[in-house]
Amino acid sequence: MENLKLTRIDFRLIHGQVMTRWCKEYETDAIVVVDDRSASSSLLKKILLGAAPAGVAVTVESVESAAEKWKADELPKSNSVMILFKNTDTALRAWKAGVKFPSLQVGGIEGAGNKKNIYKNVVMSEEEAAQLKELGDGGVDVYFQPIPEDAHYPLSEALKKF
């Protein structure tokens, strides 16, 4: 998918930082949210559709529907697409289902539970680290970068903290 400019994990999905900074950084004109819960809830879909900046189209897909659309080349045909996942599990399941993104930026993982601080304000559990490692081992360039001004922090460095 040539127009895929950014694939990102951010537990907040579409929020101020994604809307203003990352959309501007990549001149994003379409966001695909891949999240089973949001895809099955008309209320959550409505919130996500309303959260995007003017001129940015949003689609909300389940892992299954995103994989089907990826394989059929039916995701947005815009100039610059961003895919957002809520968590590492969803990103891994989508990748295994056929959404073969080349890189994955980790911007935010929900902080509940037994997690270690990895980079800036990003925390991660051993299970999440294992899921990201599986993606990395599969050829995905996984890195941490909460905001555009932050340096890319590679997964290999994050894994040393476990």
Cβ count near 12 (within 10 Å) = 14
> Quick check: 20 pLDDT over 90?
no
* Domains in the chain, CATH or no CATH each: 4-159 (3.40.35.10)
| The pLDDT of residue 9 | 97
The Cα–Cα gap between 10 and 91 comes to: 11
Read off the tokens for 21.
């900074």
Dihedral, 105, 106, 108, 111 alpha carbons, nearest 10: 170
Question: For 89-100, how does the pLDDT look when each residue is reduced to its tens digit (9 = 90+)?
Answer: 999 999 999 999
Give Cα 80 distance to the centre of its chain.
15
What is the tens place of the pLDDT at every residue in 29-62?
Answer: 999 999 999 999 999 999 999 988 888 999 999 9
